[in-house]
Amino acid sequence: MTSNISRRKFLRGVGGTGAAVAVGWLHPGEAGATPGVYRWATGSNPRALDPARAITAGDSLARVWASALLRFKPGSGDPTQYEMDLATKMDSSNGGKTHTFQIRKGVQIHQGKGELTSEDVKWSFERLQDKRLRSIFRGRYKNIDGIETPDRHTVRFHLKEPDGLFLAKMMNFRGGYIVAKAGATDDVGTKMRWSPLGTGPFKITKFKPKEMIILERHDRYFRGQPKIKRYEYHIIRSVTSRILGLKKGELDAIYLATLPKRLLESVQSDPNIEVEVPDSAYNASLHFNMTMKPMDDIRVRKAIAHAINRDAIVGLFAPMAKPLYGPVAPFCIGGLQPEEIPEELKYNYDPKKAKKLLAEAGYKSGLRLETLVAASLPHVLKPIQVIQQPLAQVGIQLKVKTTDLPGYLRGARKDNQPLVSYGGKRFPHAHDYLHEWFHSDSIVGKPTRITNISHYGDVVGNVDKLIDEAGRITDQKRQVELLKKAQLQILKDLPAYSFYRPLVGFARRKTVDFGFKFDDATVYQYVLDERSRVTG
């Protein structure tokens, strides 16, 4: 599928006939809140439920069924507000190379599988590093040299070198979750992609791909029995269908994604609905594969950047979007603020300069490029379609193909596209973004691969030393200095062009009471705990 799209056509498309699509999985008589049942709907199927292989939707869902040694304060995405979760005590020794945690006693695993012990913690992190599992988080935990379990409720991590961000890696986010070894049928749990066992307030009881996930409350949850008995996770691709289901009371809460103003206001105007739009750590960028021509030429990369009108993209989703000028959102610890970026490194819209750069690179007659995006991600698909027109005006013909979400994610890492529109949320600290997207260890295809699609660090430039040093030290001021220096160098080398920051929204009926204030920019769904409830 290849297309160009205007703002007017886009608004008409999302606000028109889609709203009349029936929510087929609902049964007659289900409208209105059902006490004890929480009905959530999102637009895409999780890539996995096993936290070792889950990203975006699957990673966020893990917050309600899995636990970690440490956790974000419920409702908050602020990493400085972490709390003890499975851990009750922790200390550091050996110059920051040894970390010891005491584990809660009596924590019960789902499905009556007994007590969670230090062996489960050890296994959860060792499996991340096993080549057979092919976890995308393997590189994130490469600094772990060994794990000891002196007794059933003590776990000790030995690091190769000090890690100033080690505690962040022990939190309930991207690989930090603890899963029970009892749920595995082999020594690394290769077959528990869709059936992991945890210790959180809800347990996974049913999964139907592309349709639904059912979770039931974990009556023996260590913080107390959850008020919600049943959690229904429905996958409904059409956002207008999700909105319709919410307005009718057939759903309790939904993922709004990033909406244009008119559609957002239609939800906000409903007196029975609350809308939350947290500030965003999301980074939407074009990543240039610099192993492929013509992306190995910085003049071509700069031409593409200058051909793109950030304001047009932001306007497409305003007020649920903000411009982005650097590799890390300013919302994050260590992210460059716009005023800290020299004007020439913002690569502002300048089609004349884009044409001049293309001519200098030998492409006066233009060039043809191709990319692949997920049809289910409007905040990725629509901007790339909008970009097609200004690129064409300077002589760059961009063919956009669409696929499903798993196909898009696989394609982004197959190393066969000259540019990839890719973004996401990471731990809200600049180090995580820079390590995953720009450290040479994270290059796609390597054993420690994550999402360095551009091959930055091997082909062009290198900021590994700055990223590594920032990761080792605990002095936050110095960390930030190093990470900002790295970002400025990345902007000079331009392995990727960051253009906007979508604000991801959620909506719920007022019958949903979380038991805490929700303002979490790290997740793709509302997070529930034992206090959350749905009233009649």
pLDDT confidence tier of residue 423, bands split at 50, 70 and 90: confident
**Same domain for 320 and 464:** yes
Answer yes or no: is 518 within a domain.
no
Lowest-pLDDT range, 3-17, 222-236, 296-310? 3-17
**Same domain for 192 and 67:** yes
The whole-number average pLDDT for the span 385-393 is: 92
Answer yes or no: is 9 within a domain.
no
Residue 359 predicted with pLDDT over 50? yes
The whole-number average pLDDT for the span 312-316 is: 89
- Mark which of 205, 238, 255 sits at the end of a domain: 205
Answer yes or no: is 139 within a domain.
yes
- Mark which of 205, 240, 257 sits at the end of a domain: 205
**Same domain for 416 and 293:** yes
Percent of the chain with pLDDT over 90: 75
Answer yes or no: is 431 within a domain.
yes
Residue 96 predicted with pLDDT over 60? yes
Residue 387 predicted with pLDDT over 50? yes
Nearest to residue 49, comparing CAs of 70, 65, 25, 71?
65
Tell me the DSSP string of 405-467.
HHHHHHHHTTT--SEEEEEE---SBHHHHHHHHHSGGGBTTSTT-SSB-S-TTTSS---HHHH
**Same domain for 408 and 322:** yes
**Same domain for 489 and 348:** yes
The whole-number average pLDDT for the span 272-287 is: 92
**Same domain for 194 and 74:** yes
The CA distance from 116 to 110, in Å, is 10
Q: Count up the domains in the chain and report the number.
A: 2
DSSP secondary structure letter of residue 3 = -
Q: Which amino acid is at 201?
A: P
The whole-number average pLDDT for the span 154-180 is: 96
| CATH for 160 | 3.90.76.10
221-241 pLDDT tens trace: 999 999 999 999 999 989 999
**Same domain for 303 and 187:** no
Answer yes or no: is 363 within a domain.
yes
The CA distance from 16 to 131, in Å, is 48
**Same domain for 289 and 152:** no
- Mark which of 186, 205, 224 sits at the end of a domain: 205
Give the mean pLDDT of the chain.
Answer: 90
| CATH for 405 | 3.10.105.10
Answer yes or no: is 53 within a domain.
yes
Cβ count within 10 A of residue 212:
17
Residue 281 predicted with pLDDT over 90? no
Answer yes or no: is 512 within a domain.
no
Which residue range is the domain that position 198 belongs to? 44-205
**Same domain for 440 and 315:** yes
124-148 pLDDT tens trace: 999 999 989 989 898 889 899 999 9
Burial of residue 8, with CB atoms counted within 10 A of its CB: 0-12 exposed, 13-18 middle, 19 or more buried: exposed
**Same domain for 446 and 317:** yes
Lowest-pLDDT range, 28-42, 91-105, 233-247? 28-42
**Same domain for 299 and 187:** no
Extract the tokens encoding 336.
């460059």
**Same domain for 199 and 304:** no
Cβ count within 10 A of residue 296:
16
Answer yes or no: is 150 within a domain.
yes
∠ CA 249-503-346, rounded to 5°: 165
